[in-house]
Amino acid sequence: SLLLAIETSCDETSVAVVRNGKQILSNVISSQIETHRKFGGVVPEIASRKHVETITVMMEAALEQAGITPKELSAVAVTQGPGLVGALLVGGVAAKTYAMALDIPLIGTHHIAGHIYANALVHDIVYPCVALVVSGGHTELVVLEREGSFRIVGRTRDDAVGEAYDKVARALNFPYPGGPHIDRLAIEAEEVIELPRAWLEPDSYDFSLSGLKSAVLAAINQSRMKGETLNTAALARGFQESVIDVLVGKSMRAIQEFGARQLLLCGGVAANRGLRAALATSCEAAGVPLLVPPFELCTDNGAMIGAAAHLKWKSGEFTSLDMKADPLLSLEEWSVEPV
């Protein structure tokens, strides 16, 4: 297939042209981070408006960079959900317009399936495998028995990992998005302030980040009230080590229980150097390959949507032109029919 793939679920306007879910002919990304930074996070209304301003230019740029004419396209893929409803609507309208004008199928695509299948753009995935999804809005352990089948075996009960990183970073006065700042601080730290690990019930694959986040915020407040200088690097390291310990521990247990032949790391927090290193070590010891997309394919982009949509192209499951943007779209229900 030759897919035009659109991603507008949050604060990146991105359009890609992808061949056979594998070969990226173009992947243009316009990030709104600078716009949202002064508000300390993504402002939904502004995100939608920015997508409207940018989307047409991005569609044309993606086609031009790919060196193809619209007539060559097999289908138009777009993130249907989850995400910000107003932001999703913009990509949805653009996709429907192209699909209608070109008389080609529309493929409504799941954003998290996209994050997972970003790995397919650079690696050969073997099944069964386990995906650890860590992003701004999601923290999930997903079992893939076969291509395109998704079973969520664990999820966060409160904050997502990226969200916790951003909140901790904000409390330490780092600009949005704060994840990379905490990562750098933690890696450079010489000391560590030990913080608790949220393992939950022994057999649970769920996560909880809010207790840890509160412990960090309490430490910051206490030092301020006492007028002491806080070792922020040691605190960042304590936070990061607690997060990583639990993510790695539960991922390795899932690999065992579900007989996974690979572990796929996906989502924006997959850029975290500490997490990558810790997973690499544990996977090596377990003899299970760790797949991680390159940095630019970890955060939101159109190419990953093209990779996931290709599965629906293969099974012939297309989306009607009255598709609704769905902020709560279910990953499991989006699973592809076996072909």
- Work out how close the CB of 338 gets to ligand ATP at its nearest, in angstroms, rounded to a whole number: 27
Pinpoint the alpha helices (H) of the chain. Answer: 33-37, 44-66, 85-102, 111-117, 161-171, 179-188, 210-226, 232-257, 273-286, 295-298, 302-315
Site for Fe ion in 89-148 (CB under 5 A): 135
Annotated binding site: 111, 115, 133-137, 166, 179, 183, 272, 300
**Which among 1, 72, 4 is positioned nearest to 302, based on CA atoms?**
4
Nearer to Mg ion (CB atom), residue 11 or residue 159: 11
Q: How far is CA 258 from the centre of its chain?
A: 22
Residue among 17, 167, 168, 183 that touches ligand ATP (CB under 6 A) = 183
Spell out the residues 6+ positions from residue 194 whose beta carbon is closer than 8 angstroms to its own. 238
Beta bridge partners of 30: 13
Residue among 91, 105, 162, 238 that touches ligand ATP (CB under 6 A) = 162
The verdict on 10 binding Mg ion (CB under 5 A) reads yes
Whether residue 59 contacts residue 5, with contact meaning beta carbons closer than 8 Å, is answered with no
Closest residue by beta carbon to ligand ATP: 268
CA distance 262 to 49: 40
Nearer to ligand ATP (CB atom), residue 198 or residue 271: 271
Residue among 36, 50, 110, 138 that touches ligand ATP (CB under 6 A) = 138
Residue among 150, 165, 258, 334 that touches ligand ATP (CB under 6 A) = 165
Q: How far is CA 14 from the centre of its chain?
A: 14
- Work out how close the CB of 268 gets to Mg ion at its nearest, in angstroms, rounded to a whole number: 6
**Which among 308, 304, 314, 315 is positioned nearest to 24, based on CA atoms?**
304
x-or-dash string of contact with ligand ATP, 268-307, rule CB under 6 A: xx-xx--------------------------xx-------
Kind and range of the H or E run holding 141? strand 139-144
Annotated binding site for Fe cation: 111, 115, 300
- Residues 91, 319, 24: CA angle, nearest 5 degrees: 60
Q: How far is CA 266 from the centre of its chain?
A: 6
Cα dist from 243 to 65, 94, 247, whole Å: 40, 38, 6
The verdict on 166 binding ligand ATP (CB under 6 A) reads yes
- Work out how close the CB of 280 gets to Mg ion at its nearest, in angstroms, rounded to a whole number: 25
Residue among 90, 300, 306, 319 that touches Mg ion (CB under 5 A) = 300
CB burial of residue 81 (10 Å; 0-12, 13-18, 19+): buried
- Work out how close the CB of 267 gets to ligand ATP at its nearest, in angstroms, rounded to a whole number: 4
x-or-dash string of contact with ligand ATP, 6-35, rule CB under 6 A: ---xx-------------------------
Nearer to Fe ion (CB atom), residue 50 or residue 237: 50
List of residues contacting Mg ion (CB under 5 A): 10-11, 300
List of residues contacting ligand ATP (CB under 6 A): 9-10, 83, 111, 115, 135-138, 162, 165-166, 177-180, 183, 267-269, 271-272, 299-300
